[in-house]
Structure 1
Amino acid sequence: MPYESGADWQYDVPTTGSTHLPPDAGYGKALRSQGYGFEVAVADLIDNSIDAGADKVVVHFLRDAERILTLLIIDNGRGMDDASLDAAMTVGRRREYGDGALGMYGTGLKAASLSRAGSLTAVSRTRRSRAAGRLLTAEGMEDGFRCDTVDPRYAQDLIDRYDGIIEWHGTVVRWDRVSNFDTVARGQSDQYLSRAIARLETHLGLYLHRFLQQGLKLDIAVWDVSATDGVRGSLGEEVDHIAVEALDPFGYKVPGKAGYPLVITAPVEGVGDVDLTAHIWPAKSKQAGFRQVGSLNERQGFYFYRNDRLVQAGGWNGLRSPEGHLALARIAVDLPSPSNDVFSLDVKKEGVTVTPAFTLGLDKAQAANGVTFHGYLADAENAYRDGAKRTEIVRKAVTAPGKGLDPKIKRVIKEELPEKPGEEPIAFTWTALPEDVFFDLDRENNAVLLNKTFREDFTDGRRGGSNDTPMLKTLLYLLLEDCFGLGRWERARQDRIDYWNTILLTSARAERDRRARASS
């Protein structure tokens, strides 16, 4: 019925029609200013790959001799056809997510990408459709949300280039004009990539650790497109490659107190019973899952998971402030499904907001054996204080190993030995050297140079990767680590390098002779 002026209170606001209002171009700027960190943005795109059923994902940095060019994320998920690509690139379009999906809001691909890059390209192929692609730029979003169609020939070439990952179906997401890369000074690409890859490896290993433990293969690779090796020609060559491993924040071997981990159940109004898996780390642990995930104060507290994806790594969510004597306390919480009003997740999936109902539930939380949540905190504090009383042998700090050494070895070295702060990691590189030299030191760039003449003798004649010959490089690292980060170079130290070189050179030639005899 039409509205009559002066009528009684209206429980529903009366309307007379509707108008469709497309988003203003300013909405694109707001979308791009979500504040994604680089690692968080990459993780958001890998979530899409996992949702697409991928079990193999590669984060691929492309560079030339002087600068970092672009970033690609390649997966072997089920892919997208033209209609699906249009839907994925439509700003503001929501899609239905299954109960187990990692996606939530439908903005991650655009917001995460264009907050870090000026141009987003998605190229994909399904089992039943040919390669297709779409290109979305910051300028296009301001021009009425224009999305460009990628040349089908380029789309097919890009898919073919990654046929070792994409067999029958998959997707390549490409970022150009990446803000992080544009700030890297010429000649500083190696140093930037070393630090950026280390941070990315830690972030992905932590936040996706359950998927990695379940079999997801996630690699980070660097290609120099300006290099040629006689095999790949103008495609360049791989100069670094690491396999991301799970960094489990609960991956201790023995708990810090007997009886843990312990499931403590909290009755939360509006949700029901919420299980808190309470852990106590062993004091002074050197394991990567304890030491390498960030500040111990920041990493104590709640670890919230949504569909096996870590969405908050530590923090007390207003319950209390971080305290040194609770450094061993970590609690795993799988968020209830479906969505509810007690727990809300931010769009970047790196923090959870809770209502007072959760805090009230913690006051009543109790395990089957009678231990309360506050009793657990007291146990964690006592374990910390008991551990602090034990004397510990302090090992000498070392310069960390860097590019060229297998990530598994680097992680163990970090667990066993403290790092010198502010030192560039020591890299290992095969290069041309005089025939009477097995190795040399580039102390200015913190690198151990290996004579590539002998490379195949240590790889059984096979083409080696950037992280090949792990035993050789590890032994050299242990021998040579203290030769870096020094001031004055002593004659006695140079003499030691000379006789090590002579002995190792003789050993390498003996290995070559052995292989020649074995093949004859």
Structure 2
Amino acid sequence: MQNQGMNRGMVDVTPDVRLLRVLRSSGVNLQTAMGEILDNSIDAGASEIDVYVFKNDREKSNIMIVDNGKGMNDVTLRGAFTLAKELKFGIDQIGKYGMGMKTAALSLSTQFEVITQKASGEVLFGEYNINKMEQQGEFKTTVRLADEVETTLFKSKLRRKQRSGTIVIIKNCDRLDVTHPVFVNQMQQFIGLAYKNFIKRGINFTVSDFPIKGDKVEAIDVLMREHDKTHIISERDTYPIEFETKLGQRKNTFIEVSSTVLPKPDKGSKGKKINEKGVLLPLNQTHQGIYVYREGRMVGQGLSWVNVFGEKHNEKNRFRIEINCNSELDDAINMNFLKGNVNPINPLKNQLAEIIEPYMEEMREVLRQEEEKEMSVQASKEKNADKKVTRKIEMVINKPVSSQVEKVENTSGKVILNKNVKKAKSKKELLTAAKEIRALLESKRTSEKTKKEFMEALGLTSSILETV
């Protein structure tokens, strides 16, 4: 018997607006969130990107990102507000999946605004507020022409000659869990690391904890190429890579590999100083390993991949490797929309293992040669120290004593003075000499070999010396 009243056919599976609350708990951290928005700015062709964090009139934190990219028209802005809507700017874009801006902004607040303009268009305003969408029960928001206040803000943040750009304002951040100065420091380091290739190409980033333009962010080179004590093992060596597309097609692309052995850190600094100067990424297990750059943007840092870099160990604290790849390998490196630490599939890992192992061996050889050189230097120092100890002991033993003038008769019976006769060392002088010898034998500056030789010459053992 057929069920009565059953509706057959297509079913509307549009998600409930509560999905936006779920996205707020997607595990996006501050750096990842900001990175998604900065990626959009770079994909839009921006050459100036400014980041601000400041208190608004409600004493809540606002984060504002301003770029001078190509901006958006009405259609593009609506698409930017649509979940999973991918906006293509080119094959080498660093944005992906169309989730970035929404997920990133919502991880910090329940609302954000966008003010944008294309070179030949008008200034537009868009609002994304999940509280309002929940009240409406629909995925609908506002996109309109910017009002006078919004337009004034837009013009004030971009140069007068600049006719296009975008401003993203994340308002009333309820999940910004760091102070504004800490935010600035974290952003400067993150941007310097993740976007160092873009900075070197001429893109300027600034970060400020006031609504005024901040200081320029400097690129951070994890391989420390410019340090004169860095051993450069390879520099952008190119290798062919085979991969499989989603359709099962076999294709080829290329990767670039750079590797270095970093300078030796200062003793006792726990890898935080080199030549008494602080380093941004301490030489430790956390920061050793592989750094992956996709389309020039860092998407993985300090990775090990057991059969590629191998298990992390203190002996590898100075080893760092850069791999540059393009977006063709996105599936092969298992990159998700958060662009977190990537983990290649096994076929790619196997290829990487063959490529990287010779570099790992070269890095290990650098350490071996350093160790041999240090041992040689230490042996030379010990040899010189032994010579000094030997001379000093001889000086103590052969210390001149007062001469005795002795009267003797020559063959003719005439009395003469003989000054060549030495009197025997007194007990006091011998005890003084013995104490000085013992002090030298107990000195850490005296080698074990020299100590053993003198102990044998004196007919003593080390245990006797310890009990004396």
TM-score interval, normalised by the smaller of the two chains: 0.5 to 0.7
- What is the aligned counterpart of 1:327 among 314, 317, 324? 317
Q: How does 1:83-482 map to 2 (within 5 A)?
A: 83-142=75-134, 143-149=137-143, 152-153=146-147, 154-164=149-159, 167-181=162-176, 192-223=179-210, 238=212, 241-253=214-226, 254=228, 256-257=230-231, 260-261=234-235, 263=237, 265=239, 270=244, 272=252, 274-284=255-265, 286=274, 291-293=279-281, 296-319=284-307, 320-339=310-329, 341-365=331-355, 372-379=358-365, 381-382=367-368
Aligned pair in 2 of structure 1 residues 51, 266: CA closer, same or farther (>3 Å)? closer
Between stretches 357-366 and 254-263, larger displacement belongs to: 254-263
Q: Residue type of the partner of 2:224? A: G
Whether contact under 8 Å (1:255, 1:280) holds in the other structure is no
The answer to whether the 8 A contact 1:205-1:246 is kept is: yes
Letter in 1 for 2:347: A
Distance 1:165 1:356, change over 3 A: farther
Check 1:363–1:210 CA distance in 2 against 1; reply closer, same or farther (3 A cut): closer
Other-structure match for 1:438: none
Alignment RMSD (CA, Å): 3.3
Distance 2:306 2:133 in 1: 38
C-alpha deviation, 1:179, in angstroms: 2.2
What is the CA distance between 1:315 and its match in structure 2?
A: 1.1
For the 8 Å contact 1:264–1:372, the answer to whether it is kept is no
- Show structure 2 runs of 5+ residues with no match: 1-7, 245-250, 266-272, 379-468
Shift of the 69–150 alpha-carbon distance from structure 1 to 2, 3 Å rule, reads farther
Cα pair 2:92 2:327 within 8 Å, conserved: no
Decide whether the 8 Å contact of 1:135 with 1:148 is kept in 2. yes
Could you give the per-residue CA deviations for residues 470-491 of structure 1, whole angstroms, max 9, x where no partner exists?
xxxxxxxxxxxxxxxxxxxxxx
Q: What amino acid is the match of 2:67?
A: D
Residues 155 and 327 (structure 1 numbering): CA distance in 2 closer, same or farther, change over 3 Å?
A: same
Q: Is the 8 A contact 2:233 2:260 kept in 1?
A: no
Query: Based on CA coordinates, which of the two structures has the bigger radius of gyration?
Result: 2
Instruction: Tell me the matched-pair count.
Output: 350
Per-residue deviation, 1:128: 1.6
Deviation at 1:295, TM superposition (A): 6.2
Compare 310-319 and 17-26 and name the one that shifted more. 17-26
Q: How many percent of aligned residue pairs carry the same amino acid?
A: 19
What CA deviation, in whole Å up to 9, does each residue of 1:35-86 have, x standing for no partner? 1111221121111111111100110122269945311101111111222111
CA contact (8 A) 1:261 1:280 kept: no
Aligned to 2:14, the other structure's residue is in SS state coil
Indicate how the Cα distance of structure 1 residues 159 and 65 shifts in structure 2: closer, same or farther if over 3 A, else same.
Answer: closer
1:384 CA drift (Å): 7.5
SS in 2 for 1:298: coil
Q: Structure 1 275/172 Cα, relative in aligned 2: closer, same or farther at 3 Å?
A: closer
Q: TM-score, normalised by structure 1?
A: 0.60
Q: TM-score scaled by structure 2?
A: 0.66
- Output the CA distance in 1 between the equivalents of 2:327 and 2:146: 41
| Shift, 1:326, TM fit | 0.8
Q: Shift of the alpha carbon at 1:27?
A: 2.3
Q: 1:283 to 1:81 in 2, by over 3 A?
A: same
**AA of the residue aligned to 2:95:** G
Residue aligning to 1:48 = 40
Deviating more after overlay: 130-139 vs 259-268: 259-268
- Corresponding residue for residue 436 of structure 1: none
Letter in 2 for 1:256: T
Given that 2:233 and 2:259 are in contact with CA atoms closer than 8 Å, whether structure 1 keeps it comes out as no
> How far, CA to CA, are the matches of 1:138 and 1:293 in structure 2?
38
The separation in 2 between residues aligned to 1:50 and 1:108, in whole angstroms, is 13
